[in-house]
Amino acid sequence: MSLRQLGRTVCRQKEVKYDLTSTPLDRCLSTTDLSLIAIGCMLGSGVYVLTGEIAGEMAGPAGAISFLISGIVALMAAMCYMECATRLPETGASYLYAYVAFGEIFAFMIGWNAIILRVMSVALVSRGWSAYFDNIINGVVGNWTVEVILDGEPWDSPLLGDYPDFLAAGIAILVCILVAVGTSISARANGFFVTINVITVALVLVTGFVYADFDNLTHPDGYFPFGFNGVLTGSAACFTGYCGFEAVAFSAEEAKNPSRGLPIGVIIGFLVSMLCYSGVLISLTAMVPYTDINVESPFVAAFGAVGANWMQYVVAVGALCSMTGCIINCVFCVARCIYALARDGLLPKFLGYTHPVSKTPVTSTLFGGSLSVIITIFVDFVSLIQFLSLVAFIEFIIVIASSIMLRYRPDQEVSGYASLGGSNTHVTEVSHVPNVSIQNGSIQNGSAQNGGTPNGKKGHRHHRNSAETTPLLNNNGKPHPKRRYQDSNLKRMGAPNPGPTVALCIIGFICFSCGSMVLLTYFFDEISSGSLPYILSLAALLLLTLVVCIPLIRLPQYGDNIPFKVPLMPYFPLVSLLANVFLMVQFSAIAFIEFGIWTAIELVVYFIYGVSHSHESEKYKHRISKHVDIQPNGDVTESIPITRDFETSDHGSRRSSADNNAYWAGDSLVTSSETSFAGC
C-alpha cells in the first residue's frame, strides 16, 4: 500500500444519516433531563472543595471573578460542542465529530482518549466518594481494610492507593447496574441527586450570608490579594470545575428533541453552575478571611468558626449526592463512547449490542464499568491528574476545530436529497439548466419553459454565499460569467473544496498560537526585559497566527439549516481555541510524555485491529455514483455508473467544481463535485 493509499484509508470519513427515528437507543431525555445532566456534571463536589482552593491559595475573594472568566471560556467550547451535536445528532460526541470532520484515525485517537478519560473519572470520583464518606465516620472503613486485609501494612507504591478501596468499587458497580437498566431510570436518579445538591448549595449560600461579615472581602489585603495574575491563575484551575458538559453531547441520540434540548440544557447548566460557584465562594470569603480558609474542608471549618456546626452534616449530604450524580453521568458517557466505536467496527462487535427491552448499550456499560471498578480498587490518581486534564483539553481543541471544519463544508441537504453528513459529496442545486426528463430508461432533453427543473418546480438557492447561489450555467448552457468570476476569486483558497485549506489553517493556528503561548508562559521575564530575539520570535508567531486566519474569513460558510450555530464564526471558536491552547501549555512536560506514550499505544491498536474492521472500509471500497453530463449546447447524455475504489486505485478520475455533471435528487437536478479528504 502506497502512502497515498494509506492516507486515504486512515482519513476516510464517516457518513451520518440524519434520521432521528432510526436508533436502537431510547429517545427519552427531555430538555429538563439534559439540563440536570449538565448541572450534575459541572456542579460536583468541586463546589465544596475547589472553591476553598481558589479562594485560599490563588485569588482570594476575587476568585468569584475567576469562576466567571473560566465559565465563559468553557461555555465557548460548549457552544462548539452544541453546533456539532445538533448537526450530528448521534452518540459519540468528540469521537463522532472528529470522524466526520477529520477522518478515522483522528476519531479513533479521540475516542480512545475519551474512553480512558471517562473510565478514570468514574474511578476518581468513586474514590472521592469513598474517602469523603469514610472521613465522616472517622476512617472506620479504611482502618478496617488496612488492619484486616493488609495485616496492618498499607501499600507503598506511586501508582497504588494506601489500600484496596472496595467501598468505592461497590459504588461504581451499583451505578453501572443503574445505568444499564435504562436511560430514563438513570436520568431520574441523576435528577434526584442533582436536586438535593442544588438545594444544599442554596442552603450553604443563604447560611453563609447570614453569618457573613462583608468586611472580610477586603480584609486584610484587599479584594485582589494576589493581583489580577492570581485571578487568571485561578481561572485556569477553575476550568476543571466546568468539565463534564460534554455529557450532554453524548446524550444526543437519546434526546427527544436534540436540536432544541441540547443547547438549552447546556446553557442552563452553565448559568446555574457559574452562579453557584461564584456565589458560594463569595459567601465563604465573607464568613472568614481568605487567610483562615481550610483548603481541605473549607465549609466545615468555616461554619465551625462562626458557630454553625450543624451545617457540616448538610455539606456532607450535598457532597455525597453531587459525587453520586457525577458518577452516574461518567458511567453514562463511558458506555456511549465504547458503544459508538464498537458500532463503527473500531472495537469488537459485542460491545455494540443494545438490549431490546432497556434500549441501552448493556455490554459496553458493563465492560466500561468493569474497567472502572478494577482501576478504582487499586490505582491512586495523584500522578495522573495532569495527564487526564491534558487529554480533556486536547479533546476540547479537536471539537472546536471540528466545528470550524463542518461550518466550511458545503451543505449536504438539498430538497429531496437524503442528507449524509460528512460525506465526500458536495451538492449544489442548479437553478438554470435545460429541462430534462427520463423516458423508457433513458434521459432526454426537454424545454426549459418550466424554469429548468422537473415537474415545473423552480430551483431554490440553497447557500447563503453568493458564490454558491449564482447559477452554474446561463440560459444558453454556457458557464455563467458572474459564477466564473466568483469561482476564480476564491479558487486560490480552495473554494468550492475548502476542506484542505481550512484544515491547514486550523493546524497552523494551533501550532503558531501554541508557540506564542509557550513564549509568553515560560519566557515572559526575557520578553519583559526587552530581549530582542524573544520579542521578534513572539511577534513573528503572533503575525503568523493572524495570517493563517485570513482564508477562514474569506471562504464561504455553509449551514443555514443548522438548528444551533456558534455565533461570530470563525472568530468565536478561534478565541476559544486560543484560550484552550493557553491553558494546555501550562501542564508539565511529564504530562505530554505520558500522552505521547498513550498515543503510541492507540496507534498500535488502531493499525492492528481498527483499520481492518472499520465499517467505513467496505463503504469506501465500492462507492458508486450516477451522473449525467450536460453539454454546452444543452444536450444531456446517458447516466453513467462510476465505481471508485479509494483504497486500491491511485488514478481514479475526479470531477472538479467546473465539471457540469448532474444527477437527479428527488425533484431537483443537482450537480456533484467530489471533495477530497479534509485530513489528507
CATH number where 139 lies:
1.20.1740.10
Q: CA distances (Å), 300 to each of 49, 275, 552, in order?
A: 10, 21, 51
Domain assignment present for 557: no
Q: Are residue 95 and residue 239 in the same domain, yes or no?
A: yes
Q: Give the model's pLDDT for residue 163.
A: 83
The total number of residues shown for the chain amounts to 680
Question: Cβ atoms within 10 A of the Cβ of 178, count?
Answer: 20
Strand ranges of the sheet holding 425-429, from the earlier edge strand across to the other edge? 425-429, 668-674, 661-665, 623-629, 640-644
Is 416 within the bounds of a domain? no
Residue 220 DSSP code: T
Q: Which of these, 55, 385, 34, 35, lies nearest to 238 by C-alpha position?
A: 55
On whether both 451 and 393 belong to a single domain, the answer is: no
Q: Are residues 395 and 435 in the same domain?
A: no
pLDDT at 432: 38
Tell me whether residue 588 is in a domain: no
Amino acid at residue number 243: C
Say if residue 398 is in the same domain as residue 431. Answer: no
Judge if the upstream peptide bond of residue 573 is cis by omega within 30 degrees of 0. no
Residue 374 lies in a domain: yes
Return the pLDDT at 139: 84
Q: Are strands 420-421 and 425-429 parallel, antiparallel or unpaired?
A: unpaired
Q: Which three cell numbers stand for residue 268?
A: 442552563
**Is residue 238 one of the residues assigned to a domain?**
yes
Question: How far, in Å, CA of 579 to CA of 137, rounded?
Answer: 42
Three-state SS string over 453-471 comes to CHHHCCCCCCCCCHHHHCC
CA-nearest of 672, 678, 612, 621 to 644 is 621
313, 434: one domain = no
Q: Give the structural domain span for 643.
A: 423-478+622-674
490 belongs to a structural domain: no
**Are 314 and 455 within one domain?**
no
Same domain, 57 and 89: yes
The phi-psi region of residue 26 (left if phi > 0; otherwise alpha if psi is between -120 and 50; otherwise beta) is beta
Structural domain contains residue 64: yes
Distance CA 286, CA 305 (A): 12
Domain boundary among 350, 372, 403: 403
Quick one: pLDDT at residue 263? 92
Please name which of 369, 377, 327, 384 lies closest in space to residue 162, comparing C-alpha atoms: 377
Q: Are residues 185 and 281 in the same domain?
A: yes
Helices 63-87, 94-101: crossing angle, 10 deg rounding:
60
Beta-carbon count within 10 A of 465 CB: 17
Residue 54 belongs to a domain: yes
Q: Are residues 470 and 431 part of one domain?
A: yes
What is the rounded CA–CA span in Å between residue 606 and residue 613? 10
CA dihedral 51→57→60→62, nearest 10 degrees, is: -70
Say yes or no: 102 and 218 in one domain.
yes
> Which residues of the chain carry a pLDDT beneath 50?
412-487, 624-680
Sign of CA dihedral 22, 34, 558, 74: negative
**Burial of 262 by CB count in 10 Å (0-12 exposed, 13-18 middle, 19+ buried)?**
buried
Give the separation between CA 443 and CA 456, rounded to whole angstroms: 17
Domain count, the chain: 2
pLDDT at 212: 86
Cell, residue 142: 479504611
User: Do 282 and 175 have their domain in common?
Assistant: yes
Residue 542, pLDDT score: 94
Global pTM?
0.78
Do 341 and 434 fall within a single domain?
no
